[in-house]
Amino acid sequence: MKVSYFPGCTLKNKAKDLDAYAYRSAEALGVTLEEIENWQCCGGVFTTSQDEVATKLSSVRALKYAADREQPLVTVCSACHNVIKQTNHAMQTNKEFSAKVNRYMANDGGYNGEAEVYHYLEMLRDLVGFDKVKEAVKNTLKGKKIAAYYGCLLLRPSKVMGMDDPENPVIMEDLIRALGAEAVIFARRNECCGAYTSVESPETAKRNASAIVENAKAAGAEMIITACPLCKYNLVKNGADIPVVYFTEILAEALGVKEDTDGK
Amino acid sequence: MQKITREQLLEKACALLASGEVSCVLGWGAGEFGYDVTPTVFKTAEELKEGFVFGDFCGVNFSKYLVSKTQKLEGKILVFLKPCDTYSFNQLLTEHRFDREKVYAVGIPCEGMADIAKVKAIAGEGIVSIEAKGEKLLVTTLYEDAPVEIDAKDVLAERCVNCKSKKHVAYDELLGEEGDVLDSARFDEVARLEAMTPDERFAFWQNELSKCIRCNACRDACPACTCEKCVFDNPNSGVENKSPANSFEEKMFHIIRAFHVAGRCTDCGECSRVCPQNIPLHLLNRKFIKDINEFYGEYQAGAEVGARAPLVNYTTEDLEPGEVFDRRGENA
Amino acid sequence: MENNKYLREEILRMSGVNTSKCMKCGKCSATCPAYDEMEYHPHQFVGMVEMGDIEPLLKSESLYKCLSCFACVERCPRGVEPAKVVEAVRLVAVRRQGANRMTANDVPETIEEDTPQQLLVSAFRKYTK
Amino acid sequence: MQVNEYKPLIVAFCCNWCSYAGADLAGNNRLAYPADVKIIRVPCSCRVNPMFILRAFQRGADGVIICGCHPGDCHYTSGNYYTRRRMAALFSMLDFLGIERARTRVEWVSAAEGAKFAATMNDFAEKVAALGENKRLEDLRCKK
Amino acid sequence: MQRVGVFVCWCGSNIAGTVDVQAVSEALKNEPGVVYSANYQYMCSQAGQEMIKAAVKEHRLTGIVVCSCSPRMHEATFRKTAAAAGLNPYMVEIANIREQCSWVHKDMMTGTEKAIILGKAAIAKVNLNAPLTPGESPVTKRALVIGGGIAGIQTALDIADAGFPVDIVEKQPTIGGKMAQLDKTFPTLDCAACILTPKMVDVAQNEKIRIFSYSEVTDVHGFVGNFDVKIKKKARYVKEDICTGCGACVEKCPMKKVPNEFNLGMDNRHAIYIPFAQAVPKVATIDPNACNMLKNGKCGVCAKVCAAGAIDYKQKDEIIEEKYGAIVVATGFNPISMDKFDEFAYSQSKDVITSLEFERLTNAAGPSAGKLLRPSDGKHPHTIVFVQCVGSRCAACAEKGKEYCSKICCMYTAKHAMLTRDKYPDTEVYVFYIDARTPGKNFDEFYRRAVEEYGVKYIKGMVGKVVPEGDKLKVQASDLIANKQLHIDADLVVLAAAIEPDKSARPLATMLTASMDTNDFFTEAHPKLRPVESPTAGVFLSGACQGPKDIPETVSQAGAAASKVIGLLAKDKLTGNPCVASSNELMCNGCSTCERVCPYGAITYIDKEFRMPDRTTKIRRVAVVNPAVCQGCGACTVACPSGAMDLNGFKNSQIMAEVDAICK
């Protein structure tokens, strides 16, 4: 299976290994990530205002690329995922918006929301199947107690993201279990860590991050996984005293592709 | 042109008669001319061998005949159904119009039937015989020495050009291969009319409906028109009147008839096939079908026995009659 | 209190939110992870926009404290979507001439070795026009 | 007033429970509407057969309006829902034949909406009057 | 041809002021069928009516047209007049020349012209009128009550009190419903069991009442006065008439780990069980999903210990068929699932509970024997947070909550808070509320007492997140008055879950052809004037199946429903509305189209033999309208393609005649 892949800015810079893990894990599961040519940054935030058009064009171009190839569009970063999925939803449901966008898209051909957007986690669940993931595990993570931290972008707004129950999600826990480890559920897993305001009010980010880590630890977690580079950065920066890693890292580890073997 | 042959059908019919499974056969009987085919009841193999025909002019939809024949005839009736006929068959079952137990339905494939008007337009009048030869029709007329050769595709009836389904939705036994429901362009003509201005539409229909001679053929052939007593024949209905007089039901006949079959019409096209004036009556029915599909979701009458037709159904969120026009442009 | 009808209309149009749906339960403010940093809280944004009392919001630092985490949107029992209101008010503020909250000059002092690009990108998108 | 001024003839079918009562209320409140509007009482808007409408047109009516309870308020729970579907289909068909759209209308008028009844009738009568005499159905089969 | 008399009313100057009544009566004189035409100041007066009666006699009238006010005003009056004169009352037609003519037109000429046309239309119609006689149908003097909660119990007792036999069908093994699970009741704080269980005993002992417990209604046919109902009595594997309810079987049953529904799964019961001590009927029931004997034939202990020999592993479901004259729906409510509200951590912590679970926790017969202990560790909670409106008034998402107010939560939460403070003064009790809704006798006083005398902390605001951490529940909430976000370390969080109609209500409504709203509450025939009747004749509504309500309201509605049932059953025969549909069987196709649009299920089909002109016979399926069920809307008449279906009083030909008269 081949999918269009939107890596996003962070995975190409500060979090390169996340990108590599994602590639190699997908390969091990029979999925080829085909990086979208000339992708442009999603902008990091989906501006909800209905009159914002230009800021959403880069997402539409990526969507158009996937639609032309009749491939699902896959992202690993939850911010990119959020922006692109919300943009796609707006293209599907908001006629005025899509008409405006298509005026900019004349040279590229029109786009009307034909593409399907998957987070890498959704790809594992819906396109690959967690049972297949389970079969592909080489180094089981048995005995590890891992808590999944969802943050805000992955699940909300749930009516658009449609990924999982926004208050009681299971997708990352199911992945943890598929990899052989024990999933630790804690209540703050869908509370915002505040990383967005690290620039504005670092104190919010710090307070929220430590409350999240404390809550996970109290529930018995020995490790936290995230699906958002920003969350990972924030939790680590604000002194998490248990490992905080990207979900693709434990996936790569369990699939036995964590170490770079083919020089990629 | 037809893939299935008269001989195959004959063999099946004779076998079923012989085994006692059926007591008679409702089939196409030879008429005065080759293209003039009459629905006939055959009771013996001899009768069949003598009179049973099958070919490119066997468009008659037998479903409707089952309503009266199942009442009158003893035992089971064998009926041959083309894919489009099976929809009418199901619709009549939905309306409890005949006893399914008294019918043995054999589904037969159909490659599309020919329209004699189109043949005449090419070959001229005075047709003596028409012979199918592969994809061609050989037409012998009184006036030409050699038979005129016509491409069968060129004389396909309108309803067959826009065939909606090659799939049988009901049968006891299937001869030949099963086909699929097709993506037809059957609503294109309706859409073309919708796109006209009201004046143009009026002119179109005034022209067409003025041709009507009120022969009632459309009603009599329609498999949805099986009423015990038609409102147009009922002196108490307030709309009875048969002669082409300038009075109420006369003008409204086609509107009322289309409305009466709306949601029940399977779009079999018999009305237009039998119209001696070649009025495109099926367009009225298709307009209702198209509207119903657009307003209330796709619905094919007869696709399923027991389905609830859209006009005897509702949702609380249905569109308002006034919105019917809002949702389209000014002309459409 | 001022009733700025024009701004009110503008914000409702931009956000696509119908503030009259609010039943004033306070769940948005109960759920807000940046509440303590805010002078005006999510329910006040909704209430004040509904009343047309918008100037105080435009001047408030609260605009830049919202995390856009959508918890209020998700949990509002009436589907009001307060975060979208906050965002619309913020856009009205930063779209004003010279009112960008951040400039490129601010970057060097903010940035650290491990700061992800994402953080800067989104800060610019949120705070500037 | 000119004697020969064109006056449209309008037939209004009103359901007994809501719209007929709404018309009564318009009367109680002395809310005027054109005398061209003649009301026929039916138990429910779903009693209105398309034949009645066509008959009215054929006998010279210039406009036909059907009034019933608001959707959800039908005295018989679902009658007006059927009306809504039937009339949507019928009006669309009349339009398809080139008959002017403004000659037919469905309006929901409750027993409390006397003012709406009068306003609706004024508006409808005005729009129908603007179309002039109803010739088309009469001429539908008379190509000249 | 009829002999029609026309009577034009002046209504003082109401009509005569704008309509030339003399001209109208003159003009109408020449209409077909009219043999007499007159006008008078007040037709509805005694003198006016006498005038009509005299004219009927003198001119041998067979039909009457009164040109007067709206038929909604005086149609009944003139029908009576006609009847008094010996005419069929349905031979009267009214031309409304007041509300729809003289009052809305100002010009005398216009008004007169229109009045004449309206008169002509009425005459055209009356010419086609036929005498109508209302049909009669017998009444089965037995009522069925579906649901054995307090609503069903009260309704059944009241009906039985009037001397009519009643059957209660209850799907649980015992009657009692939700009220049996409650601890105290607001605002009097009397114990629910103390007031409910005597009523349950009354039901059991009442000779007129039969209880079908562990049973469901599976089929309903017929119509008002004559319902045929099938009831499925599920196998309980215990012979009900033999079991003494001694409980020996329960004690010895080795399968002890079945979650106890009655205590909402907070403790366990046995595979054979009696739901609670005061259950009615007090007989054991075997849970076939838990019993080893039924699952794999290994055990049989209960049969061995039962001295009465009541255990019957071979018992089968039984179908009971019974006739009823009236049916009362009392299917009640349930709290909604908390699955979609995990911001309150209901799935994550045992110490986040619903209010109904709280009732069981504080109930002396509950899992903790009435001691308020945390479900997780059995410790006494010191800080309790109550959250109101969980899923109520929630318009954001239909799958999540309910748009309506559940009505009872404000009061029971006040009760819970007050009782907690009363029993355990050392607990801190917080109630987060959006609006405290306490209309009702002594209700607001009750709520204020909770605040003022018992020191319950009511906070205007909502809880946004509950985080279980360690042995605490960290509650994050808003205090809108103080404009603060609060962080409370609580020991117990109680959610006032919205209530919804029981899931069995929707299929039941389909069987009864009774209408429901979008929330699956039964619709009443009229929200103000017929609140306990369903629009379907003979079906009545009792309790929360019609909308959220508390116990006093439920009981009064139950009584009201009972009185309506008694009023119905007291009749020997029912007289119908004669303006009903009827099918001309000679024209009927039997196509079932009319049946599909009938909102009342009044149309059925029979196979009928017809003699044909050629002396053969033909069997055809034809529609038959039950005049006792038909309400006369006419939906079927338009659906009928052949025109076989017509409506008495509003026949196709009559309406056409009116159209013709108006358009001429």
Whether D143 has a pLDDT exceeding 70, the answer reads no
Report residue E624 CA to chain centroid gap.
27
The interface pTM score, or ipTM, of the predicted complex is: 0.68
E235-316 has CATH 3.90.1010 classification? no
Strand partners, E210: E167
Mean pLDDT of chain B: 88
Structural domains of chain A, ranges and CATH numbers in brackets: 2-121 (1.20.1050.140), 129-255 (3.40.50.11810)
Distance from CA of E359 to the nearest CA of A (A): 26
3+ Cβ–Cβ pairs closer than 8 Å linking D and A: no
Provide the H-helix boundaries in chain A.
9-12, 16-28, 57-68, 78-93, 95-104, 120-122, 130-136, 158-161, 171-178, 202-218, 229-237, 247-255
pLDDT in tens, E526-570: 778 889 998 788 999 999 999 999 999 999 999 999 999 999 999
Provide residues of C within 8 Å CB-CB of chain E.
21, 23-32, 35-36, 41, 43-44, 71, 75-79
Residue type, E635: A
Please state, in angstroms and rounded to a whole number, the distance separating the CA atoms of residues C85 and A49: 9
| Residues B82 and B28 grouped into a single domain | yes
Give percent helix, percent strand, percent coil of chain B, each to the nearest 5.
40, 15, 45
pLDDT at B245: 54
pLDDT at E394: 94
Residues 6+ apart with CB under 8 A from B239: B231, B232, B248, B249, B252, B256, D51, D55
CA E537, E540, E546 angle in degrees (round to 5)?
A: 125
Query: Please, which pLDDT band fits residue A104 given cuts at 50, 70 and 90?
Result: confident
DSSP sequence for E431-483: EEES-----STTHHHHHHHHHHTT--EEEES-EEEEEEETTEEEEEEEETTTT
Q: Chain C contact for E45, CB < 8 A?
A: no
Domain boundary assignment for chain E: 4-127, 235-316, 333-500, 581-648
| Residues B81 and B7 grouped into a single domain | yes
Residue carrying the six token digits 């020995």: A222
Mean pLDDT of A54-61: 91
pLDDT at B1: 67
Domain that includes residue B264, residue range: 185-332
For residues E356 and D77, which has the higher predicted lDDT (pLDDT)?
E356
- Helix H or strand E encompassing E54: helix E46-59
Q: Is this model's pTM higher than 0.80 or not?
A: no
Looking at chain A from residue 47 to 106, which residues have their Cβ under 8 Å from any Cβ of chain E?
none
pLDDT at B241: 63
Looking at chain E from residue 84 to 103, which residues have their Cβ under 8 Å from any Cβ of chain D?
96, 98-101, 103
Q: Which residues of E touch B228 (CB under 8 A)?
A: 586-589, 620, 642, 644
Residue type, E4: V
- Counting as contact any 3 or more CB pairs under 8 A, the partners of D are B, E
Please state, in angstroms and rounded to a whole number, the distance separating the CA atoms of residues C85 and C96: 17
- Compute, in degrees rounded to 10, the torsion defined by CA atoms A18, A20, A22, A26: -170
Please state, in angstroms and rounded to a whole number, the distance separating the CA atoms of residues E193 and E644: 59
Q: Which CATH topology does C5-96 take?
A: Fumarate Reductase Iron-sulfur Protein; Chain B, domain 2 (1.10.1060)
| Residues B275 and B317 grouped into a single domain | yes
Which residues of chain B are modeled with pLDDT < 50? Answer: 247-249, 329-332
Residue type, B251: K
For chain D, what percent of residues have pLDDT higher than 70?
A: 92
Mean pLDDT of C23-37: 95
Structural domains of chain D, ranges and CATH numbers in brackets: 10-139 (3.40.50)
| Residues B137 and B277 grouped into a single domain | no
Q: Return the HEC string of E503-546.
A: CCHHHHHHHHCCCECCCCCECCCECCCECCECCCCCEEECHHHC
Q: Chain E contact for B309, CB < 8 A?
A: yes
Q: Which of C33, C122, C123 sits opposite A194 (nearest CB)?
A: C33
Mean pLDDT of C41-54: 96
| Residues B171 and B271 grouped into a single domain | no
pLDDT at D137: 73
How many domains does chain B divide into? 3
Q: Which residues of E touch A219 (CB under 8 A)?
A: 469
Examine domains E4-127 and E333-500 and report if their fold is the same: no
Which residues of chain E are modeled with pLDDT < 50? Answer: none
3-state secondary structure of B136: strand
What does residue D99 show for φ and ψ, rounded to 5 degrees?
Answer: -80, 140
Residue carrying the six token digits 């007792």: E157
Domain boundary assignment for chain C: 5-96, 101-129
pLDDT at D125: 95
Best mutation target among E467, E474, E487, E495 (most A Cβ atoms within 10 Å) is E467
Q: Chain A contact for C111, CB < 8 A?
A: no
Distance from CA of C107 to the nearest CA of E (A): 33
3-state secondary structure of E428: strand
pLDDT at D144: 46
Distance from CA of D76 to the nearest CA of E (A): 6
| Residues B47 and B177 grouped into a single domain | yes
| Residues B130 and B270 grouped into a single domain | no
Query: Please, which pLDDT band fits residue A14 given cuts at 50, 70 and 90?
Result: confident
Kindly list the distances between the CA atom of residue B57 and the CA atoms of A60, B78, B110, B273, E380, in Å, as whole numbers in the listed order. Answer: 55, 20, 11, 11, 90
> Domain E4-127 maps to which CATH number in 1.10.150, 3.40.50, 2.50.20, 3.90.1010?
3.40.50
Q: Which residues of E651-660 are buried (b: 16+ CB within 10 A; e: fewer)?
A: bbbbbbbbbb
Chain D residue with minimum CA distance to E534: D77
Overall CATH class of domain E581-648? alpha beta
Q: Is D28 exposed, middle or buried (0-12, 13-18, 19+ CB in 10 A)?
A: middle
Mean pLDDT of chain D: 89
pLDDT in tens, C61-97: 999 999 999 999 999 999 999 999 999 999 999 888 7
DSSP sequence for E537-596: TTEEE-GGGSS---HHHHHHHHHHHHHHHHHHHT-SEEE--S--EEE-TTT----SHHHH
Contact across the interface for D52 and E659, Cβ inside 8 Å: yes
Please state, in angstroms and rounded to a whole number, the distance separating the CA atoms of residues C71 and C69: 6
Provide residues of E within 8 Å CB-CB of chain A.
339-343, 345, 347-348, 397, 465-470
Residue carrying the six token digits 């005027």: D32
On whether the CB atoms of residues B44 and B13 are closer than 8 A, the answer is no
> Thinking of the domain E333-500, which architecture would CATH place it in?
3-Layer(bba) Sandwich (3.50)
Half-sphere exposure (Cβ direction) of B130: Cα atoms closer than 13 Å: 33
Strand partners, E619: E609
Residues 6+ apart with CB under 8 A from E566: E158, E159, E162, E164
Please state, in angstroms and rounded to a whole number, the distance separating the CA atoms of residues D114 and D129: 22
Chain B residue with minimum CA distance to E592: B95
Between strands A73-75 and A2-6, the pairing is parallel
Q: Chain E contact for A215, CB < 8 A?
A: yes
Q: Chain E contact for A218, CB < 8 A?
A: yes
| Residues B149 and B282 grouped into a single domain | no
Contact across the interface for A187 and E347, Cβ inside 8 Å: no
R_g of chain D computed on alpha carbons: 15
